[in-house]
Chains A and B, each alone.
Chain A
Amino acid sequence: MTSPTKPKPAWTSWDAPSERWLLSGFPREGTQRTVLLELASRIVFPTVLVLSIYLLFAGHDRAGGGFSGGLVAGQAFVLRYLAGGRMDDSAVVSMRPPVLIGLGLTIATGSAFLPLLFGGQILETAIYKFTVPLLGEIKFVTSVLLDSGVYLLIVGVVLDLLRTLGSGIEADVEAAARGQR
């Protein structure tokens, strides 16, 4: 199950991408594949992830934020799932969704308590401004930590959704079909 490439691929799937950096180990069956979508998602997936991170940081001054950013990143994974088939442990994000959810929650609550260490109040925000050569002045607001927690958590929730409703149901259908055959 874990090895993505089989020694002798069937003629329907011999051209399935073997790189693990984009698509997972379970390409769709020949009749269900759309090369166009696969190709598009190959190109779009990293771009969308970058966009989601942009949204996470841009949220402070423009539309966006951790919630939207997380959803966009989740959407990228949805696209990847639709094009590339169900995911398994060898997928790009090898972290299991519950771990991701827990990590997000931990970062968010941890950042809430962080100001206490510096004598501030709970959930207090500090603003740092510093100048970097070439880039100019950069403003760093500590509340972005909380937002990153939200981001990770949302991504985890979406991945969980894919794992249970997406690939889970797909595996069920397959198992049922095998059983009936």
Chain B
Amino acid sequence: MLAFVIVHLLVALALPFLARRSTRAAFLTAAVPPAAALVWVLAQAQPVLAGQVITETVAWAPLIGLEFSFRLDPLALLMTVLVAGIGALVLIYSDAYFSRGGGAARRSAPLLLAFAGAMLGLVFADDLITVYVFWELTTICSFLLVGQAGISRESRRSALQALMITSLGGLVMLLGFVVLGESAGTYRISELIAKPPGGTSVAVAAGLILVGAFTKSAQLPFHNWLPAAMVAPTPISAYLHAASMVKAGVFLVARLGPVFAGMPQWWLPTVVFGLATMLLGGWRALHEYDLKKLLAYGTVSQLGFLMVLLGTGTYTAAVAGTTMLLAHGLFKATLFLVVGIIDHQAGTRDIRELSGLGRRMPWLAGIATLGAASMAGLPPMLGFVGKEAAFSAFLGGSQPELLVDVVLVVGSMLTVAYSLRLLWGAFAAKRDIAPTEAKPAGFEALVPAGLPALAGVVLGIGFPIADRLASAYASAFPPGDNSYHLGLWHGLTLPLLLSAIAVTGGVVLHLGRARLTALRNELPRLLDAQRGYERIMALLERIAVGVTGRLQVGSLPTYLGIILLTVLAIPGSALLMRASVPADLRLYDNLLQIPLGIVVVVAAIAVLRSRRRLTGVLLVGVVGYGIGGLFIVDGGPDLALAQFLVETLTLVAFVFVLRRLPVRFTQTETRTTRALRVPKAIIAGATGVFISLAAVVFGAARQAPSEASAEFIANAEKGAGATNVVNAIIVDFRAFDTVGEISVLAVAATGVASLILASRHERRKRSTRVAPATRVKIPALAEQQQEEVRE
């Protein structure tokens, strides 16, 4: 299984090179790996449905117990059929849809294949972390696919919205995974199912994971990204809606359903939000004029439906859920591809402009009718079989179940109504619109659109196959009184009546569409998810600007003060509380230390009192040289050499910069500058005292030369060929650090240089008449540069 995922991703990596030559070859090559995966998984279907499970585990980071583990069970089998089958069809269709050699075609072939690979990894995954990795991979792929070249503002915004919402949900979900995995002691899904954990933390995890599933599957408060993502090319939308991305959320609920079965924190939100989404999506779909948008809201509605069925956690609901999952994948792929053909051939997909296409494209109309019939739940389609099962799942007799059933029937009415609207809008001859001109579509486009529709009919008539698949998954749930089986004819039962009501109601709704739209226009629009999203994003940006403005005041003394105060507050208080005065404290080791120390102290005090910048800089230099002298006295010639050289260079750099700065620190003595001087001096003095105390205490903490030093000294000559241990450490024992440090130095120097050069370039562009004395930028840069040199 891992091999398939890797082959998908590797071929996707190689495809851009092929796509540059020929996009046709790229799309057809891209269709091979999914087709191979489909063939393989169908060959495995017999043993898997008989209860055999194929597993595969690859150690990823064994040190921290991370692994990719894969597992082929009935649910994974079903999803693979959708992901790989529809993936291959969409890729073949894409060749007909995209203009040959165009930018969108060159981008889409590798991205779609990578998308398919990520989805395969997700459906095979048997480990929560593996699920998360592939989950986010699909998010990234869909961002790139929706955004395409990013030329239009709308595509950028939609892609970003999809990324924002789904990755936010993904992060929350990761938190849920961690809570679940830690409280259960395992991240393996099969082990979680075998031994479902319980307790408060698991309930919290359920809620967090549901947020992830809801965002991905476009459930109620988060649904708006899906219709917005309609800016993507149609084949991509087809794949997004039918087999991947949005299916991932539903799939996750199905996958983890057995773990949380019977937990109200799990089924209650899925049922409530699912029902609300089903109604809202269906209602919105009834009023769309864009065929693609209509289908998108239809998907939102169907996803709500699937969420209800798969989240409930009973045997019959699970059977219905898996059947509908398959059915939805098949008919949604067909319908999207059909809309793509219409858009491609007629140049529009607006209901108000299309007329008489049914007569012009009879084959296409036939295919679309098959798909829409399955969506509406007409016999003998798979959609009908699934819907029957769904109605049966909530006939336990209790009041809440009855309510669910009623809402499902209303939702199905809406589904029937928008299915009719789709067919009518796309193919009917409308009286007041001139017949649309359209060239007939080629086989390469028609066959991929027709195959899933045909599969919907075949599986509907051949319902035992679907029944075997669905019951194999649903066996994880308690079967209840009598285990349900799919079928076209159960006798004159209540579900059949409900189906009839739904169809009739849908036809009535469609006939009264004009009045319905008028009614909708009169209703007040209370909440708009899209506007809510935009408000939240704008608020975030405002907060970011506010926080940055308050934190980054642009004053070097303030920054330094904050840094020093932090040093005083955190390590300083630790020093005060813990440290003890070392026992054998000597005043000095060498007489020379006394004059040197005095020089350093005097210079440091003088810096505080200096008014001129140059004086200050020179005095700082004196402090540095004094410390270098102390190094010599203590027997560190290398250290002293480096200290002297760096000190000199710093001094020079300072003097360079000083040419552009006022001579004195403060031009005019005001009351505020004078008032600020005392706190500045206190902070500076306190930090100095702290550092020197810390040096004494920390220095005394080591009792003997450390083992590492001893080893370095012993090995310097033999191992590194150096009698200078310091150098041996730098170029041999710790050479890796050296390489890292010089890289940092290179990056920092280049960065500072380009900052300065860029600001000068800008100034030159503006004018040469700007007074040079008021530059504030340069001291900050010099300071930075100096720090780097010191390092």
A87 within 8 A of B: no
CB–CB A101/B727 < 8 A = no
Q: Contacts A125-B732, A165-B756, A176-B768 given; indicate if A62 touches B724 (C-beta within 8 A).
A: yes
A22 within 8 A of B: no
Q: Which of the candidate stretches B4-12, B247-255, B497-505, B747-755 sits at the interface with the other chain?
A: B747-755
Among B653, B728, B731, point to the contact of A165 (Cβ < 8 A): B653
Interfacial chain B residues near A139, Cβ < 8 Å: 721
Interfacial chain B residues near A156, Cβ < 8 Å: 746, 749
Chain A contact residues, majority secondary structure: helix
Interfacial chain A residues near B730, Cβ < 8 Å: 65-67
Chain B contact residues, majority secondary structure: helix
A91 within 8 A of B: no
Complexed CA–CA distance, A30 and B739 (Å): 45
CB–CB A180/B769 < 8 A = yes
Interfacial chain B residues near A27, Cβ < 8 Å: none
B24 to chain A, nearest CB (A): 43
Interfacial chain A residues near B659, Cβ < 8 Å: 169-170, 173
Interfacial chain B residues near A158, Cβ < 8 Å: 649
B770 within 8 A of A: yes
Interfacial chain A residues near B55, Cβ < 8 Å: none
CB–CB A165/B738 < 8 A = no
B368 to chain A, nearest CB (A): 61
CB–CB B721/A163 < 8 A = no
CB–CB B645/A104 < 8 A = no
Q: Which of the candidate stretches A5-13, A39-47, A71-79, A130-138 sits at the interface with the other chain?
A: A71-79
CB–CB A102/B746 < 8 A = yes
A85 within 8 A of B: no
CB–CB A160/B749 < 8 A = yes
CB–CB B735/A60 < 8 A = no
A90 within 8 A of B: no
Among B739, B756, B757, point to the contact of A109 (Cβ < 8 A): B739
B772 within 8 A of A: yes
Interfacial chain A residues near B719, Cβ < 8 Å: 125
Complexed CA–CA distance, A163 and B721 (Å): 38
Interfacial chain B residues near A173, Cβ < 8 Å: 659-660, 772
Q: Mark B264-288, 1 if CB is under 8 A from A, else 0.
A: 0000000000000000000000000
Complexed CA–CA distance, A141 and B771 (Å): 55
Interfacial chain B residues near A25, Cβ < 8 Å: none
Interfacial chain B residues near A63, Cβ < 8 Å: 637-638, 641, 724
Residue of A nearest to B720 (CB): A125
CB–CB A60/B772 < 8 A = no
Q: Contacts A161-B653, A169-B659 given; indicate if A98 touches B642 (C-beta within 8 A).
A: no
CB–CB A161/B739 < 8 A = no
Q: Mark A131-164, 1 if CB is under 8 A from B, else 0.
A: 0000000010101101101100110111011011
Complexed CA–CA distance, A169 and B753 (Å): 12
Within 8 A of A (CB), among B648-674: 648-649, 652-653, 656-657, 659-660
Interfacial chain B residues near A101, Cβ < 8 Å: 746, 749-750
Q: Contacts A75-B649, A125-B719 given; indicate if A112 touches B660 (C-beta within 8 A).
A: no
B588 within 8 A of A: no
Complexed CA–CA distance, A164 and B754 (Å): 9
Q: Contacts A60-B722, A169-B660 given; indicate if A65 touches B731 (C-beta within 8 A).
A: yes
Within 8 A of A (CB), among B710-739: 719-724, 726-728, 730-732, 735-736, 738-739
Q: Contacts A78-B652, A165-B656, A169-B659 given; indicate if A68 touches B721 (C-beta within 8 A).
A: no
B517 within 8 A of A: no
B745 within 8 A of A: yes
B742 within 8 A of A: yes
A150 to chain B, nearest CB (A): 6
A105 within 8 A of B: yes
Residue of B nearest to A102 (CB): B746
Residue of A nearest to B658 (CB): A169
Which of B645, B721, B728, B732 is packed against the most chain A CB atoms within 10 Å?
Answer: B721
Complexed CA–CA distance, A164 and B681 (Å): 32
Complexed CA–CA distance, A144 and B649 (Å): 24
B542 within 8 A of A: no
Interfacial chain A residues near B735, Cβ < 8 Å: 112, 123, 143, 146
Which of B653, B764, B771 is packed against the most chain A CB atoms within 10 Å?
Answer: B653
CB–CB B645/A60 < 8 A = no
Among B646, B727, B736, B771, point to the contact of A71 (Cβ < 8 A): B646
Complexed CA–CA distance, A143 and B728 (Å): 9
Residue of A nearest to B722 (CB): A60
Interfacial chain A residues near B757, Cβ < 8 Å: 164, 168
Residue of A nearest to B642 (CB): A68
CB–CB B731/A143 < 8 A = yes
A172 within 8 A of B: yes
B649 to chain A, nearest CB (A): 6
A100 to chain B, nearest CB (A): 10
B612 within 8 A of A: no
Q: Contacts A60-B727, A78-B649 given; indicate if A157 touches B749 (C-beta within 8 A).
A: yes
Residue of B nearest to A171 (CB): B760
Interfacial chain B residues near A123, Cβ < 8 Å: 732, 735-736, 739
Among A60, A74, A175, point to the contact of B649 (Cβ < 8 A): A74
Interfacial chain B residues near A68, Cβ < 8 Å: 638, 641-642, 645
CB–CB A112/B739 < 8 A = yes
Q: Contacts A68-B638, A78-B652, A164-B752 given; indicate if A108 touches B742 (C-beta within 8 A).
A: yes
Which of B749, B768, B769 is packed against the most chain A CB atoms within 10 Å?
Answer: B749
Q: Mark B309-339, 1 if CB is under 8 A from A, else 0.
A: 0000000000000000000000000000000
B566 within 8 A of A: no
Interfacial chain A residues near B763, Cβ < 8 Å: 172
Complexed CA–CA distance, A122 and B782 (Å): 36
B767 within 8 A of A: yes
CB–CB B769/A163 < 8 A = no
Within 8 A of B (CB), among A84-128: 97-98, 101-102, 104-105, 108-109, 112, 122-123, 125, 127
CB–CB A150/B652 < 8 A = no
Complexed CA–CA distance, A176 and B764 (Å): 10
Which of B646, B728, B731, B760 is packed against the most chain A CB atoms within 10 Å?
Answer: B731
CB–CB A61/B723 < 8 A = yes
Complexed CA–CA distance, A142 and B9 (Å): 42
Complexed CA–CA distance, A108 and B653 (Å): 26
Complexed CA–CA distance, A160 and B747 (Å): 12
Residue of A nearest to B734 (CB): A123
B785 within 8 A of A: yes
B743 within 8 A of A: yes
B788 to chain A, nearest CB (A): 8
A-B contacts, 29 listed (Cβ < 8 Å): A59-B724, A62-B724, A63-B641, A64-B638, A64-B641, A64-B727, A66-B731, A71-B645, A112-B736, A112-B739, A123-B735, A125-B721, A141-B720, A143-B735, A149-B742, A150-B738, A150-B742, A158-B649, A160-B753, A161-B653, A161-B749, A164-B752, A165-B653, A165-B656, A165-B657, A168-B760, A173-B660, A176-B772, A179-B769
Extra pairs beyond A104-B746, A165-B782 (14, CB < 8 Å): A62-B724, A65-B730, A66-B731, A78-B649, A98-B750, A143-B722, A144-B731, A157-B749, A158-B649, A168-B760, A169-B778, A172-B760, A178-B768, A179-B768
In the A-B complex, the 5 residue pairs with the closest CB atoms: A179-B768, A71-B645, A127-B721, A63-B637, A143-B731
Contact residues of B with A, CB < 8 Å? 637-638, 641-642, 645-646, 648-649, 652-653, 656-657, 659-660, 719-724, 726-728, 730-732, 735-736, 738-739, 742-743, 745-746, 749-750, 752-753, 756-757, 760, 763-764, 767-772, 778, 782, 785, 789
